[in-house]
Amino acid sequence: MITERPTLIIEGGRIVDGLGAPPQTGDVVIAGERIVGVGQAATTECHAVDRIDATGMTVMPGLIDAHCHISFDEPSSNDELFFHRREGLAAIIAARNLQKVYRAGVTGILDPDSLYETSIDLRDAVEAGIVHGPRMAVGGNALLTSVGGTAGRLLPDEGRRGYGKVVRGPEEIVAEVRRQIKNGVDWIKVHVTGLTPRQQVTGELQVWNFDELRLVSDTAHELDTPVVGHCRGATSIRDTARAGFDLILHATYMDEEALEAVVEARSPIVPTFTFQANLADHGGAVNSSPGLRDIFKREIEDSAAMLKRAFAEGVPLLCGTESGFSLTPYGDWHYRELEIFVRDLDFTPLEAIRAGTSACARALRLDGETGAVEAGRLADLVIVDGDPSEDVTVLADQSRIREVMVGGRRMPLGPIEPERGDPPGWRVSTHSDRILDYDFVQGRSGPDRT
Ligand SMILES: [Zn+2]
């Protein structure tokens, strides 16, 4: 049962609207789940019951993370993700992890693919008021051809494992898309590129052909469901855009032809640089391999210019972080894509905020409905002690996040109880972090053989 809530007025805050307008000081009036007034005169006509004093603070739309894997629980490897997760526990732990996500000022996430499709149930539980969480739009299993995806041979030749489902040919593609839509997904996710053991080229290979991409896209669209593709590499981006995909994740290594295709289709892109940037900037501290750090650093450097051109030509760029891995734990890095947009794509802070809020509303299938401080929109808001329109990194400090609201409901903040541990068998366990060669024991260590 939804109880009637009093009108709420957030008074005297610095309003950053999420649409790119310069900040203005004023009030925000909320009735039920929506914003009903914004600005200087907003309060004059209503009899407020609840008031929040936001003087000196910023009122802005909550962040929307357009690429967050809520069911993964921070694995440090694909092995852990595919072989150490259990369906029931994955769902229970995801419900807990959602508490971290909204405490970071995130009021919406797109979870494009989930372990055992548990995010469908989690979304429904949030919407029914069973657990606190941000708004969620979810995919089911990612569709993979029998070539696999980025997890290579860990994926089976057929059937499903973890977050992935192998589809062999047109019949299975159509059947799987329809099955997922029947079960309630918001998006169909496709791993358009992947890795093979003996490839001569660096980077990922396109593992779907154009006709297959078109078939996924047409089948989903016939059932009013959008399609999102994971694409690294020029031809995959070109074909995905031409096949009518509604969102492209990564879109790195575009060439002129791929750029032309995304500009023509106005295909929204979620570059998702946070994972790479965390690895490049902080990977040393967690013993990531220097080779890997280098590859990811270059991926940002090599792709920034093309993404800037795409944006200049009218292609929407959305913020997503790939939160859910050991390098991108929940609650800590959702703000960081905004920082990278400023640092590497030359966005102003206001442009970055727009990319992480109103532009991302389409990832929730709520374009025009959320992501902005504007009368008529859903009251998905945060109040921040600081001015993100000057420096987006103030959003990194959770002690500055004073209020989080989803649909006008004030979310509980503060510590998450109880303190958690890991269930048995949940993490990859290792006997050692190097090979115990004799020379090493004798102090005559050569290069580490691991
Ligand atoms: Zn991802």
C-alpha distances out from residue 125 to 3, 80, 243, 388, Å? 18, 26, 33, 32
More confident residue, 431 or 239: 239
3-class DSSP state for residue 60?
strand
Q: How many whole angstroms from 398 Cα to the centroid of ligand 1?
A: 24
* Sign of the torsion formed by the C-alpha atoms of 375, 377, 379 and 382: negative
What does the mean pLDDT of the chain come to? 94
Nearest-angstrom CA–CA distance, 256 and 261? 9
- Picking from 408, 319, 308, 283, the residue whose alpha carbon sits closest to that of residue 31 is 408
* High-pLDDT (> 90) share of the chain, %: 85
Please report the pLDDT score of residue 365 as a whole number. 98
Nearest-angstrom CA–CA distance, 333 and 329? 7
Q: How many whole angstroms from 69 Cα to the centroid of ligand 1?
A: 7
Q: How many whole angstroms from 67 Cα to the centroid of ligand 1?
A: 6
C-alpha distances out from residue 290 to 82, 204, 277, Å? 25, 19, 13
For the purposes of burial, counting CB atoms within 10 Å of the CB of 40, is it exposed (0-12), middle (13-18) or buried (19 or more)? exposed
Rounded to an integer, the average pLDDT of 339-365 is 98
Q: How many whole angstroms from 3 Cα to the centroid of ligand 1?
A: 37
Q: How many CB atoms lie within 10 A of CB 302?
A: 13
Q: How many CB atoms lie within 10 A of CB 95?
A: 19
Could you tell me which residues are beta bridge partners of residue 52? 10
Give backbone dihedrals phi and psi of 195, rounded to 5 degrees, phi first: -120, 140
Residues 6+ apart with CB under 8 A from 266: 314, 315, 316
Could you tell me which residues are beta bridge partners of residue 8? 30, 50
Please report the pLDDT score of residue 421 as a whole number. 95
Q: How many whole angstroms from 22 Cα to the centroid of ligand 1?
A: 33
Instruction: Give the pLDDT confidence of 249-268 residue by residue, as tens digits.
Output: 999 999 999 999 999 999 99
Please report the pLDDT score of residue 294 as a whole number. 87
Give backbone dihedrals phi and psi of 310, rounded to 5 degrees, phi first: -60, -45
Least confident of 274-288, 354-368, 384-398: 274-288
Q: How many whole angstroms from 151 Cα to the centroid of ligand 1?
A: 12
Q: How many whole angstroms from 276 Cα to the centroid of ligand 1?
A: 12
Q: How many whole angstroms from 202 Cα to the centroid of ligand 1?
A: 20
Contact criterion met (CB below 8 Å) for 317 and 267: no
CA 267, distance to chain mean position in Å, is 17
For the purposes of burial, counting CB atoms within 10 Å of the CB of 158, is it exposed (0-12), middle (13-18) or buried (19 or more)? exposed
Nearest-angstrom CA–CA distance, 262 and 248? 9
Q: How many whole angstroms from 233 Cα to the centroid of ligand 1?
A: 16
Instruction: Give the pLDDT confidence of 20-62 residue by residue, as tens digits.
Output: 999 999 999 999 999 999 998 666 566 667 999 999 999 999 9
Please report the pLDDT score of residue 40 as a whole number. 80
Give backbone dihedrals phi and psi of 340, rounded to 5 degrees, phi first: -70, -35
C-alpha distances out from residue 268 to 53, 237, 325, 382, Å? 37, 11, 24, 25
Nearest-angstrom CA–CA distance, 102 and 87? 23
The angle at the Cα of 94, spanning 417 to 153, to the nearest 5 degrees, equals: 140
Query: Does 206 score more than 50 pLDDT?
Result: yes
Please report the pLDDT score of residue 284 as a whole number. 87
Q: How many whole angstroms from 250 Cα to the centroid of ligand 1?
A: 9
What is the DSSP secondary-structure string of 360-419? GGGGGT-TTTSSS-STTSB--EEEESS-TTT-GGGGG-GGGEEEEEETTEEPP-S--SSP
Rounded to an integer, the average pLDDT of 153-171 is 95
> Which domains can be identified in the chain, with CATH numbers?
1-61+372-414 (2.30.40.10), 63-334 (3.20.20.140)
Please report the pLDDT score of residue 445 as a whole number. 63
The radius of gyration computed from the CA coordinates of the chain, to the nearest angstrom, equals: 22
Please report the pLDDT score of residue 41 as a whole number. 66
Rounded to an integer, the average pLDDT of 222-228 is 98
Rounded to an integer, the average pLDDT of 345-353 is 98
| Token pair listed for 132 | 């606190």
Instruction: Give the pLDDT confidence of 311-326 residue by residue, as tens digits.
Output: 999 999 999 999 999 9
Confidence of residue 1 (pLDDT cuts 50, 70, 90): very low
- Picking from 85, 106, 89, the residue whose alpha carbon sits closest to that of residue 381 is 106
Q: How many whole angstroms from 87 Cα to the centroid of ligand 1?
A: 19
Q: How many whole angstroms from 191 Cα to the centroid of ligand 1?
A: 10
Please report the pLDDT score of residue 5 as a whole number. 76
Q: How many whole angstroms from 77 Cα to the centroid of ligand 1?
A: 13
Q: How many whole angstroms from 97 Cα to the centroid of ligand 1?
A: 17
Please report the pLDDT score of residue 184 as a whole number. 98
Q: How many whole angstroms from 249 Cα to the centroid of ligand 1?
A: 8
The residues whose Cβ lies within 5 A of ligand 1, an ion, are: 322
Please report the pLDDT score of residue 447 as a whole number. 59
- Picking from 23, 10, 107, 126, the residue whose alpha carbon sits closest to that of residue 68 is 107
Residue recorded with tokens 């998905």: 380
Instruction: Give the pLDDT confidence of 180-198 residue by residue, as tens digits.
Output: 999 999 999 999 999 998 9
Residues 6+ apart with CB under 8 A from 45: none
| Token pair listed for 33 | 């789940």
